[in-house]
Amino acid sequence: MHPTRAAASVRAGGRTGPLPGGTVLGVPTHAARLDGLLSAAGLAAVAAEPDLPLTWENGVDVALGGLLRARFGDELADRLADPLLGGVYAGRVDALGLRATVPALAAALDAGAASLTAAADAATPAGPAVPGPVFGAVRGGYRVLLDALAAAAGADVRLRATVRALTRSGERWRLTLGPTTHPEPLDADAVVLAVPAPAAARLLADVAPAAAAAASGIELASSVVVALAYRAPDAALPGTSGVLVAADEPLAVKAVTYSTTKWGHLSPDGLVRLRASLGRFGEAASLQADDAELVARVRADLATLAGLTADPVAVHVQRWGGGLPQYGVGHLDRVRTIEQGLPAGLAVAGSALHGVGVPACVATGRGAAERVAAQVTVATRA
């Protein structure tokens, strides 16, 4: 299923307006129209950027926020780039590395772009937009896909089974499962670690110390998603797909998706659905409140953002402790060290590597499976 044509909005400077087009993850091209989002001074800073002298060292990684502030001023970083990237990584733009978060921009600078605006122009595909929708979803949710994959694979799926250790066992690998009082060994020809970076670091410490050290350098942010459903007469949502919120706004949420507006298939029962995200890097303590308090914060913000004050008919709170890895400066070097430091029969996959979105995670899973399959095949033939 594909989303509707509803466009996104952004909350910054105390007002909500359309999310500007003509940018590369918030970095403006010459075609960007930022009126209504930036002040006159902010617009002047963006207009002047192409004429600023640029010093750039090929191959070097820098913090995206610092680069944007130096070239465009604080407003663009705070009101556009930070909400966009904060919605993806739950991180602050000042701590995110350029090469991992906007690789096309880094490539354009390496190729000789004379300014960030020119680099954004070069990173934007020429010609008409790619036809068809970019995003898709599965009717019934990802559970449908996961169940189908498990059934097709004939896999022995063990849920809520703790893996405590990974060691060599002759030519194979041994996983130690279960509680320390009743450990269970499980021997395997190959292992794919699709786990958060800190867990990968612990499991790899003895068998791949360099990879483990690199994984331990990837920090995590926690987030909470609050989903709410309303009777249709009680919830007249804005006509947008949702709103991204700048970090300096006096609101608890960092983004709200008006799910019923964005996804036409989600409300066959007539209820109006939406979901709000809370939590940025360094704000884990603010998420320690109980569910009722988090729901109250979201409802207060919905009154401000959408004029929505009715009581919901259903609420669900989903916590993702340490769920979003931070792509800091030098992230690609860390990932390279992890992937190149693994012995045969081991591979890693997941959001800590080459992107936090579902397509990027699927790609790392496919790559990991192909790596270990090829290595097991070679070992078997030998």
Which token pair is 1?
């299923």
Whether the per-residue pLDDT at 231 is higher than 70: the answer is: yes
Whether the per-residue pLDDT at 224 is higher than 90: the answer is: yes
Looking at 264-328, list the stretches that DSSP marks H as alpha helix, in order from N- to C-terminal side: 291-306
**What single-letter DSSP state applies at residue 3?**
-
SS3 256: strand
Please tell me the predicted confidence (pLDDT) of residue 293.
Answer: 97
In sequence order, the 6+-apart residues with CB closer than 8 A to the CB of 126 are none
Which of 223, 242, 222, 227 is closest to 298 using CA atoms? 227
Q: How far apart are CA 247 and CA 270, in angstroms?
A: 33
Minimum mean pLDDT range among 133-142, 149-158, 254-263, 357-366: 133-142
Composition of the chain by helix, strand, coil, percent to 5: 40, 20, 40
Whether the per-residue pLDDT at 2 is higher than 60: the answer is: yes
Whether the per-residue pLDDT at 279 is higher than 70: the answer is: yes
Q: How far apart are CA 302 and CA 352, in angstroms?
A: 31
**Mean pLDDT of all residues in 268-288:** 91
Q: How far apart are CA 335 and CA 328, in angstroms?
A: 11
Convert the pLDDT of each residue in 25-80 to its tens digit: 999 999 999 998 999 999 999 999 999 999 999 999 999 999 999 999 999 999 99
Whether the per-residue pLDDT at 239 is higher than 60: the answer is: yes
Please tell me the predicted confidence (pLDDT) of residue 131.
Answer: 61
Please tell me the predicted confidence (pLDDT) of residue 382.
Answer: 63
Pairing of strands 346-348, 191-193: parallel
Convert the pLDDT of each residue in 131-141 to its tens digit: 667 788 888 88
Backbone angles phi, psi at 235, to 5 degrees: -135, 95
- What's CA 353's distance to the chain center, in Å? 11
What does the chain come to in residues? 382
Please tell me the predicted confidence (pLDDT) of residue 9.
Answer: 96
Whether the per-residue pLDDT at 142 is higher than 70: the answer is: yes
Please tell me the predicted confidence (pLDDT) of residue 63.
Answer: 95
Backbone angles phi, psi at 162, to 5 degrees: -75, 130
Which token pair is 6?
């509803």
**What single-letter DSSP state applies at residue 241?**
S
Pairing of strands 314-325, 220-230: antiparallel
Q: How far apart are CA 77 and CA 93, in angstroms?
A: 7
**What domains can be seen in the chain, in order of their start residue?**
8-123 (1.10.3110.10), 152-218+327-381 (3.50.50.60), 220-324 (3.90.660.20)
Please tell me the predicted confidence (pLDDT) of residue 42.
Answer: 95
Taking a C-beta distance cutoff of 8 angstroms, is the pair 217, 54 a contact? no
Looking at the chain, list the stretches that DSSP marks H as alpha helix, in order from N- to C-terminal side: 40-48, 64-72, 74-76, 82-89, 98-101, 103-110, 116-123, 142-153, 197-204, 209-216, 259-262, 291-306, 331-340, 358-381
Taking a C-beta distance cutoff of 8 angstroms, is the pair 350, 195 a contact? yes
First vs last C-alpha separation in the chain: 46
Q: How far apart are CA 280 and CA 268, in angstroms?
A: 33
